Structure 1
C-alpha cells in the first residue's frame, strides 16, 4: 500500500499535501539570491574600498589562511595564474552552495536562509579581519547579506505561491499568473544584479591610474642605467635578454585585485624607532636625488630551474638616504614595510643601509613608471634578498623596529625572518625533453648571486668532468649573469647539469631543499635528445 497524500477526518474536507517547489526552480532561486548578494556587496564596496567586496575579501582571507605547502603547490602547478584558479574555484563553490541552498529549500526557505547567513557572516569576518580596511568596510558584506537573504526569501515565496496556486480552486489559470509573476521577479533580479555588479566594477576602477602613470613616465624619461653594456646576454643562444620587459617580469604576490593608486594621492610614512617621523608625498620623492640601477629579483617560491626570476632597471631614491633623514635609533634591526592592501615585509636594516648595495624606494621600472601590478606608485627593491622580505609593492608605511617586536606576513606561515638569495644557476637551452640536431649544441643559461656576483659557471655533460662555461659581461653584481658552452654531440639522449660559483668562492650546494623556509637548493639538470 502506498502512503496517503491526504488526511481525512470525519466531517472535514481532505487536506492537500504541503506544496514543494520543483528542484530546478528551487536551485534557480538559490543562484539568483547569491547573484544579488555578490552584486550588492560589490557595488557598496566600490564607494568604500574595492577590497571590501565580499568575493574579494573572502578570497584574500583564503590566501592568508593557505598553508605554505599548499601555496607552494599552487605556484608550482598554476604559476602566475594561481589567483585566477582561486577565483574560479570560489565561483564554482558558490555555484554549488547556491544550488544546494535551493534544493534544500523546496518546501521552506529556512535552510537556504541559514546557508546565506553563514556565508554572509564569513564575508563580514573576512572584511573585519583585514588590517587595510576600516570598520566602514563591513557595510559591504552586510549589504551583501541583506540583499541575498531578502532576494532569496522573496523569490522563494513567489515560487511557492505559483506551486500552491495550481493546487487551489482556480487551478491552472491562477498558477499561470503566479508563474509569470515569479518569472518577472527572477528576470528583474538577474538584470538588477548585472547592473549593480557592472556599476560597482566601473565605480571601483574609476581612478585614473594610467593617466597618473603617464605623467610619471614623462618625468622619468631622463633616467637610464649607465652600467648597462653590450654583451651582457647570450639571447641568440637561448638565454633571456639581460633586461626583462615589464610585461614579462614575473609577478608573485598576495593581491587578488591590483590596488589602484594615483601618484598624486600616494604618501609614505616613516616612523617607529626614529628621531623624527617623516611623511613623503610622491613629489617629495621625485625632488630627491634619484638613481637608476639594474637589479635581478627572485621569488622564494622559485624551484630549482624555475621561472620566477627577472631583471629590470629600477629608478628611485636610496633607502639609506631616507633613513638618514629620520635618524634611526640604536637597536632597530628591522625595516618593517606595509602595503596599501595590508601586506607586510621585514628587511634587515643592515641590508637596507649597506653601502655596497642599492636598496631603494623605486618609482620607475625600465624607463617608465612602475606598472600597477608591480607596485605603482612606489615599491621597495632590496638587492640580495628574496622578494617576500624585501619587495613590498604599493608601499605606504615604513616602521623602524626590531624582529622581536614585529612579525611580517610570511613568518607565521613557515618562512624565515631573513632570506638572503642563494647562489643558483639555471639551464635555459636546450629545454628539458627537447630534441635538437646532432653536432654542435650550445648549452646556455643564467646564474645569480645578487650582491656577490658570479665568478664561474661549470657544466657536466653525461656524467663527465665539470667544464667551465663562457661568461657574458657582468655590468653589476646585483643582477644575473649569462653563460654558454658549446658541445659536439652524437645522436642520442644527453643529460647536462650546471653549477655556479660566486665571487666569494662559494659553489652552490648539491643538497636538495624545498622553497620553504628560505629558498630551494640543488643543481639544475636537463635531459634532451639529439638526432
Structure 2
C-alpha cells in the first residue's frame, strides 16, 4: 500500500517543487513580485477578513508573513501529493492539476495593482514544467520501473528543483544587494531645518521601529531608476528623481509613528528622527485643485494610502522622507522614499516605497485599507503605555519607578497620571520633548507595599481632553482604553 501511494505522492510533490523553483527563478530575474509564492500570498492577504488579519498581527507580530508562506507551502505539499496519487491511475489529472495551479498563480500575479501581462508567465511556465514532469512519471509503461530507476529519476528531479531554487535565491539576493549598494552610496545633505535640540525620545534605532505592512517581499528599489510622479487634480504634473529631492531644502524632525492595529499597550508605535522634503511646498508647485481632498500615495508594490489633503497643508511636518536616524531609509522602512504625515495612523498617512502621488477625492477613490472597512481618515488617538515594570513582574518593596510613554501627535501631552489599585490618580513627571509630534516619556515614583497591585495609566492631551478609559478594538479607527497591568511586590 505504501509503495502504491508513497511513490506517486512523492512524484507529485517533487514535480511541483521543480516547477515552482523554475517559476521563482524566472520571477527573481525579471519581476520579483510575479513569483508564485509571493503573488498567491499577497492574494491571500487581500482576501483575508479584517478580524483574521488583526489576530495574525496581534498574535504573530512580524512573524505573520513567514507563517503565511509556510502555511501555503504545507497546503501545496498536501495537494500535490494527492494529485500525484491520482495521476498514477489517471494521467490526465497531471495536466489538469498543473493547469489549475498555473492559472491560480497567474491570476494572483495579475491581480496585483502594479501588475503587467508578463506577470502571468512565471506561474504558467512553472505549471507547464511541473505538469510535464508528473505526466512523464505517470504515463503507463510496459513494465513498472524498478527501484533503481525510480531513485535515479527522483534524484534528477530533486536536483533540478534544488538547483533552480538555489539560483532563484541567489538572484533575489543579487537584486537586493544592488538596491542595498545604491543605498550605501547615498550621502544625505545636512538639513536646512534641523530638529529642535530639546529632549531625546527613546527608540532612535531602525532595528527598534516596528514594521507592519502587507509586503511579503520587501521591494528592492534602485535609487537611480526611482522617480516620483505627482498628478491628478493639479495644474501641473510633476516628475522628480531622487537627486531632485536632495537638491531641495531638507527638514529634520523627531516624529512618533504608530500603526492603527496597535492594541492598548501594544508595541506598534515608535519614534525616529526623520529627514525629508516638506510635502506642502511640492503640492503648491503642482497647484492643487480646490476640490481635491485626498492625496493617494502609491508604492512600488502597488499599495495605496489615502491621506486628507488638509492634513498635508495645515502646517504639520508632512514629508517625503529620505532619511531615518541619520541614514538613508532602511529597505524595509521604505527606501528610497516614504511619505510621513504626523498625527495620522500609518495606514492613512505613511506610504513606504512611494512612487506616485495622485490628487483626487474621497468620493472618487477608496485606498487599500478603506476598501477593507477601515476609517478613511485615521487621526491618532491619545494613548499611553506602561513600559516598566513589565506585566506580572515581581518587584521589591520600597520605591519603584513606574515609567512609560504617552502620545497625541499634533496635540501633544499635557499630563500623564498613574493609578495604583483604586487609589486616586497621581501626576507623573514628564520629560522634555522636541515637539507635539513626539511621544512623551514619563515616570512616577511609587512607594510599593507588599502584595499584588494593579497599575493603570492615562494621559491628557494638549487640548485638555482626557484619554478615554472605554475599551475599543483597533478596527475600524484605532484602539482605546487605559493600559493596565498587574505586579507583585515582595
- TM-score normalised by the chain length of structure 2: 0.96
Aligned: 1:165 with 2:143: yes
* SS of equivalent to 1:247: coil
Contact 1:469 1:483 in 2 (8 A): yes
Q: Of 51, 54, 59, which residue of structure 2 is paired with 1:77?
A: 59
Residues 92-131 of structure 1 mapped to structure 2, 5 A cutoff:
92-131=74-113
Residues 400-444 of structure 1: per-residue CA shift (max 9 Å, x gap): 000011110011211000100000000111111111111111111
Q: Which moved more, 1:400-409 or 1:205-214?
A: 205-214
Aligned: 1:227 with 2:196: yes
Kindly report the root-mean-square deviation, in angstroms, between the aligned alpha carbons of the 2 structures: 1.7
Q: Of 366, 383, 400, which residue of structure 2 is paired with 1:441?
A: 400
Contact 2:387 2:405 in 1 (8 A): yes
What's 1:180 paired with? Answer: 148
Cα shift at 1:229: 3.2
Contact 1:334 1:346 in 2 (8 A): yes
Residues 281-292 of structure 1 mapped to structure 2, 5 A cutoff:
281-292=241-252
Considering only CA atoms, is the larger Rg found in Structure 1 or Structure 2?
Answer: 1
* SS of equivalent to 1:219: coil
Cα shift at 1:291: 0.8
* SS of equivalent to 2:446: strand
Aligned: 1:46 with 2:24: no
Question: 1:224 & 1:527 partners in 2: Cα distance?
Answer: 44
What's 1:6 paired with? Answer: none
What's 1:424 paired with? Answer: 383
Residues 164-313 of structure 1 mapped to structure 2, 5 A cutoff:
165=143, 175-176=145-146, 179-207=147-175, 208-216=178-186, 218-220=187-189, 225-230=194-199, 232=200, 242-313=202-273
What's 2:363 paired with? Answer: 404
Question: 2:486 & 2:2 partners in 1: Cα distance?
Answer: 63
Q: Of 302, 314, 328, which residue of structure 2 is paired with 1:354?
A: 314
What's 1:389 paired with? Answer: 348
Gaps of 5+ in 2: none
- TM-score normalised by the chain length of structure 1: 0.89
* SS of equivalent to 1:494: strand
Question: 2:114 & 2:121 partners in 1: Cα distance?
Answer: 15
Q: Which moved more, 1:371-380 or 1:88-97?
A: 88-97
What's 1:516 paired with? Answer: 475
What's 1:65 paired with? Answer: 47
Q: Of 484, 490, 496, which residue of structure 1 is paired with 2:449?
A: 490
Residues 46-91 of structure 1: per-residue CA shift (max 9 Å, x gap): 2331010111100011111111100000001001111011011111
Question: 1:182 & 1:92 partners in 2: Cα distance?
Answer: 24
What's 1:3 paired with? Answer: none
Contact 1:43 1:197 in 2 (8 A): yes
Question: 1:57 & 1:41 partners in 2: Cα distance?
Answer: 12
Cα shift at 1:112: 4.2
* SS of equivalent to 1:261: coil
Gaps of 5+ in 1: 1-18, 167-174, 234-241
Contact 2:95 2:132 in 1 (8 A): no
Contact 1:44 1:143 in 2 (8 A): no
Question: 1:432 & 1:223 partners in 2: Cα distance?
Answer: 43
With over 3 angstroms needed to count, the CA separation of the structure-2 counterparts of 1:361 and 1:274, relative to structure 1, is same
Question: 2:87 & 2:215 partners in 1: Cα distance?
Answer: 36
Cα shift at 1:258: 0.3
Q: Of 439, 462, 471, which residue of structure 2 is paired with 1:480?
A: 439
Question: 2:361 & 2:50 partners in 1: Cα distance?
Answer: 24
Residues 250-277 of structure 1: per-residue CA shift (max 9 Å, x gap): 0000100000012111000000000110
Q: How many positions carry a matched residue from both structures?
A: 488
